[in-house]
Amino acid sequence: MFTGIVTDIGTIQKTEDRGDLRARISCSYDMNGVDIGASIACDGVCLTVIAKGDDWFDVDISAETTSKTTIGSWQNNEGGWTTGKRINLERALKLGDELGGHIVSGHVDGLAIIATMQDDGDSTRVTLTAPEDLAKFIAQKGSVTLNGASLTVNDVKGCDFDINFIPHTKTHTTWGEAAVGDRVNLEIDTLARYVARLAEMQG
């Protein structure tokens, strides 16, 4: 489990297509404190550490995951895998850690698309379009996870929803590099899913 509070920005050092994708990700974590088999959320996708060095770790990513998340877009037009891409990282929640965001599983539900971006003071107001089957789980003042970051929903209109990025978020995550048209890993709030399911059963 995670909280959606990004604690590092990693960089894709290299990748290898072995049927599944193996990726090496550099980071600033103290890897002495990260065990083989530990979970790290990479742009909101829960991945398992299978090897590590002083400032890097390796993960294996299934074909299913690359097809359902933005990890599939790491492949460039020539069919090779793009290196140098920066991604949001968060280590798994431990007992006693502060829950600064909301409970996040690291299981991406779908892809949202950035529709518009507009400066709002020092912040940036972003409108995203969610898949129709997930839009019903997104509520005003509720929480969503976007590329691993826990964010509050400002407004919802149909499949579109608005969030605001404050300067701190833009500086300490990859959201300062976002652009209109980008696809984004979307995880809906687990609580919203269960509430919707309960309402469906009672209806």
CATH class of residue range 8-91: mainly beta
Predicted confidence band at 189 (pLDDT cuts at 50, 70, 90)? confident
Please report the pLDDT score of residue 94 as a whole number: 75
* pTM recorded for the entire structure: 0.90
| Residue 201 identity (one-letter amino acid) | M
What is the arithmetic mean of pLDDT over 3-25? 90
Query: How is the chain split into domains, by residue range?
Result: 8-91, 110-202
Please report the pLDDT score of residue 72 as a whole number: 80
Could you tell me the maximum CA-CA distance found in the chain, to the nearest angstrom? 54
Equal fold, 8-91 vs 110-202: yes
What is the arithmetic mean of pLDDT over 99-115? 88
What mean pLDDT is reported for the chain? 90
Tell me 118's DSSP state. E
Give the residue from 203, 202, 5, 201 showing the smallest Cα distance to 103: 5
- Which residues lie closer than 8 Å to 187 by C-beta, 6 or more apart? 44, 104, 105, 106, 107, 108, 109, 144, 145
What is the arithmetic mean of pLDDT over 122-150? 95
**What kind and span of H or E run contains 146?**
strand 143-146
CATH annotation of 110-202 = 2.40.30.20
Give the residue from 52, 40, 50 showing the smallest Cα distance to 1: 40
